[in-house]
Amino acid sequence: MAPTPFPQIRQHVIQKLQTGLASHLTYHCIAHTLDVLEQAEAIALAEKFKAPKELLLLKVAVLYHDAGFVKTYQNHEEMSCEIARQELPMFGFSPRDIETIGHLIMATKLPQSPQTKLEQVICDADLDYLGRDDYAPIADRLYRELLSLGILQTEEQWIQMQINFLEKHHYFTKYCQQNRESRKQANLQELKVKTSQLQKTGA
């Protein structure tokens, strides 16, 4: 039995996110999932992935990778896998396909540790924005989300967290290394300038 056409799966998951995600999730929202989906397709194409089945599993994994947020914030990846395991049989996916999708979802858990080329693609797609011109507004959505959850209290904490994260992060695919790394380093430098300015005004 062939899997359900992707547009129907997409509609199902997006509807689940629309009804299930809390309003304070300003970063882990539908816009993020759709952005990761767009980047995953672009990166996979650049990395010469052509097999329709591989691309389908990748795209389905992206759709579900943050679905766990409808139920939990901590360890949401495990919950995302659980939701995928429950729902994907009705879309015609085999146990082996569902296992692959689960591995793809878990690869996005921080710190990222992809084991396959396809897992590298979803990891880079998930954090693609770190090396883009729209990094600042997207990062601000994460800042607001973490403030609302009480994980952060001050802008200084946030900027230091971002500096630490960007310094440790690295892209896995050749495409992102060539097209995102230099802008990521520029974004990092801008954060360092900002933190020194905050320190001066604080003093």
The highest-level CATH class for domain 6-202 is mainly alpha
Report the share of the chain in percent with pLDDT over 90.
94
Interior angle at CA 115, CA 110 and CA 116, nearest 5 = 120
pLDDT tens string, the chain, 203 residues long: the values are 788 999 999 999 999 999 999 999 999 999 999 999 999 999 999 999 999 999 999 999 999 999 999 999 999 999 999 999 999 999 999 999 999 999 999 999 999 999 999 999 999 999 999 999 999 999 999 999 999 999 999 999 999 999 999 999 999 999 999 999 999 999 999 999 998 887 777 64
Q: What sign does the CA torsion over 31, 35, 37, 38 have?
A: positive
Cα(99)–Cα(165) distance, integer angstroms:
29
Q: Which two tokens stand for residue 74?
A: 């901590």
End-to-end distance of the chain based on CA atoms, in angstroms?
Answer: 67
Each domain of the chain, given as residue ranges in start order, spans 6-202
Please, is 46 exposed, middle or buried when counting C-beta atoms within 10 Å of its C-beta (0-12, 13-18, 19+)? Answer: middle
Cα(145)–Cα(21) distance, integer angstroms:
12
Residue 149 CB contacts under 8 Å (≥ 6 apart), including other chains: 24, 73
Q: What sign does the CA torsion over 28, 151, 167, 77 have?
A: negative
Cα(192)–Cα(124) distance, integer angstroms:
23
CB atoms within 10 A of CB 160: 14
Compute CA distances 178 → 104, 171, 183, 196, 201, whole Å: 23, 9, 10, 29, 37
pTM of the model: 0.95
